[in-house]
Amino acid sequence: MGNEIPADFFVTKLNEAKIHFERALDCKHTEFDDLYPYMIEHPQFFWYKRYVAWSELLTIVKLCEDLDVEWQQQFSQQQVEYIKKRVMSSKVLDYWFETNDSKEHVS
């Protein structure tokens, strides 16, 4: 079995997927923008971009779970709960960074 991939590889990929999702949430440039530069002007593009980044994150988490690689320590407890639910709801979009939880942001 000498071809086993070290856990560090998956932790790195998990961190990259998390950053990609967070950049998509913030409407910042990602590699996905380079694939579809003509789509940037369409409002639906940002929703699709977030969906793709979320799917990537869930895929890496699933691989980590299947291979018994610890993934939860890379996220806040609330983010772990969102990931476990697997649905990219408006709650995920609004509260992923947890800074919107305070009353002055929730009006």
pTM: 0.82
Q: What is the pLDDT of residue 53?
A: 96
User: For the chain, what is the HEC assignment?
Assistant: CCCCCCHHHHHHHHHHHHHHHHHHHCCCCCHHHHHCHHHCCCHHHHHHHHHHHHHHHHHHHHHHHHCCCCCHHHCCHHHHHHHHHCCCCHHHHHHCCCCCCCCCCCC
Q: At residue 29, does pLDDT exceed 80? A: yes
Q: What is the pLDDT of residue 34?
A: 85
Q: At residue 99, does pLDDT exceed 90? A: no
User: Given the structure tokens 């530069």, which residue do they identify?
Assistant: 37
